[in-house]
Amino acid sequence: MEKEPSKKTCIMLVDDNTSVLQTTAAILEEEGYAVLACSGGKEAIDKFNDGIFAVILDINMPTMSGLEAFEILKSKNPYVPIVFHTGYDEKEKRANIRKNFRPHAYVVKGSDPEQLLDTVAGAVESYKNIVENVKLNEVLQDRNRVIEEFNRSLEEKVKKQVEEIQRTSRLKRYVSPQIAESIISNGNDKYMINAKKLLTICFADLKGFTTASETMKSDDTVNLLNEYFTEMTKLIFNYGGTLDKFIGDGILVFFGDPIPFDNHAERAIRMAIDMREKVQELHKHWLEKGCNIDICFGINTGYATVGNIGSSTQMNYTVIGHQVNIAHRLQLEAKAGQILVTARTLTGIKDIVETAEIKNVKLKGIHKPINVYNVMGLK
């Protein structure tokens, strides 16, 4: 039967004095450490390995001094704590050694053994923390590399998709049907000129998704988002909304352009209510994957600039302006399940919507507090 490997913390002890070596080793072993005893610096360098959590090193040794051994051991592992255990008791000499070599600690031989044990315990704890931090940093670096590679791959894919859209008439795969039909039938020139129009803007976002995604498998995260975006897009198009963009797990939709609607505010609210109900259905099996997430909305009506905005190489059909910012701020203010709208959005449709007024809401970046309304449902 093979002997199980020792799980004790290993300390390397280096001293050319056999008596000191044996005595100190006995003290450390009695404390519960595994001791790798070496009678000189060269032996210590040869036997040094990753399993050593601290080194107790004599300074005055023949052939190779402790100071020389210190520099070589540190070149092998700059993090391992090294404690000088020596007979040098001159304050000036100790200060000079600390200044030039910066050991973890300096313990004079013949002093209280408890001092050495306390020093070693501190060194071991310090090294364990360093090792843990190094491992965490390596994990983070690996994740960052994966994310960077994913972003590069995603950017390349998006670029190719945009080029394909520009070269062909298969716009219906990528934009809402009404925009595709308008661009195909009228050409791009119509959308190169920005215009200010009365629109209803809606921001939707998943509350709790970021936290939930940290513990999810990447495949589950992608599948959940694909399912969510698929169902939401169906509802957006059903109500004649223009899908501006997906922002992480968020969605920006606006109503009133390029297809004008007299009831664009009503369409936006009805869409949000249906989206909320659909998410409640999806929520049941999302919980099975450990995702306790819900949707929230911010909706505002006002004049905003809409058009094909961007550069000569990259254009996006989008909406911008102060009224867009208000809708976004409302969404940030909304709690899970809430549909927060402005008074302007409710104009003309108060009779069909059940709301609860929230007074004097201070929105980030908006100077004056405003009254907003939480849409409970349709009357």
* Residue 316 pLDDT exceeds 80: no
Q: Quick one: which of 274, 271, 286 has its CA closest to 209?
A: 286
Q: Is 104 helix (H, G, I), strand (E, B) or coil?
A: coil
Give the mean pLDDT of 66-89. Answer: 88
Predicted confidence band at 356 (pLDDT cuts at 50, 70, 90)?
A: very high
Residue type, 78: P
What was the pLDDT predicted at 242? 87
Residues in CB range of 82: below 8 A, 6 or more apart: 54, 55, 57, 70, 73, 74, 103, 104
Strands (E), 121-165: none
Give the mean pLDDT of 211-231. Answer: 89
User: What are the tens digits of pLDDT across the range 92-149?
Assistant: 677 777 777 888 888 888 788 898 999 999 999 988 898 888 888 888 888 888 888 8
Q: Which two tokens stand for residue 352?
A: 């069909």
User: What is the C-alpha to C-alpha distance for residues 356 and 337, in angstroms, rounded to an integer?
Assistant: 14
Write the DSSP symbol of residue 182. H
What was the pLDDT predicted at 152? 84
* Residue 65 pLDDT exceeds 70: yes
What are the Cα distances from residue 56, in Å, to 80, 82, 241, 257, 283? 11, 6, 72, 76, 59
Mean of the per-residue pLDDT values of the chain: 86
User: What is the C-alpha to C-alpha distance for residues 77 and 12, in angstroms, rounded to an integer?
Assistant: 13
| Phi, psi (rounded to 5 degrees) for 40 | -170, 170
User: What are the tens digits of pLDDT across the range 146-205?
Assistant: 888 888 888 887 777 666 555 444 445 445 666 666 666 665 545 545 789 999 999 999
User: What is the C-alpha to C-alpha distance for residues 84 and 25, in angstroms, rounded to an integer?
Assistant: 15
CB-CB neighbours of 296 under 10 Å: 24
* 258 preceded by a cis bond (ω within 30 of 0): yes
